[in-house]
Amino acid sequence: MAIGETVITIVGNLTADPELRTTQSGKQVCNVTVASTPRVFDKQTNQWTDGQALFLRCTAWGDFATHIASTLSKGMRVIAQGRLTQRSWQDEQGANHTVIEMQLDEIGPSLRYATAQVTRISRQQGHQPAAGGYTGGASFGATVPTAGPQAPATDPWGQPTDGGAAFGAFGTPGDDVEKEPEF
């Protein structure tokens, strides 16, 4: 990030399935639109009503774009964070146009009203991990079938391989389990 960039976080629903395209240079780009509608309490009617919706177009590139397209779909509630950018152009008739978009740094399903199953992308599969190294296999109200633990033995996020011995905060057996920290 550069100094002075406007970083925002938006929570809302996807208005359509992610649009994954390939540029002429062969790079993947994914576009999504997030609709964020605030709830406003109307004192006259004593009820909550929908406020004015904000529709924000968001863009991601490379493997991150592919992860978004394979994970998210229309209607999913997401949390997105990124940098606001402004793009201007002139059409064939000479009219000037300006749009404000968000270049995504992060996006994922909101867990307020749903659950998600996260699947790690391994480096052996030829992918570089996205920011954080994970992509979601989202499960919104449905059960995601799994074939049991898929984590390799060297995966720090995997399950203990010693039959359930307690592991400490740094993955070493016995750390901070009934033991005072050394100073």
Question: Can you read off the two tokens belonging to residue 116?
Answer: 């998600």
* Measured distance CA(134)–CA(161) in Å, rounded: 22
Length of the chain: 183
Whose CA is closest to 62, among 118, 131, 10, 108? 131
pLDDT in tens, 37-64: 999 999 999 999 999 999 999 999 999 9
pLDDT in tens, 11-30: 999 999 999 999 999 999 99
List the beta bridge partners of residue 81: 9, 106
pLDDT in tens, 71-128: 999 999 999 999 999 999 999 999 999 999 999 999 999 999 999 888 888 765 544 4
Query: Amino acid letter at 64?
Result: F
Write the DSSP assignment of 67-121 as a string of letters: HHHHH--TT-EEEEEEEEEEEEEE-TTS-EEEEEEEEEEEEEE--SS-EEEEEEP
Residue 136 has pLDDT above 90, yes or no: no
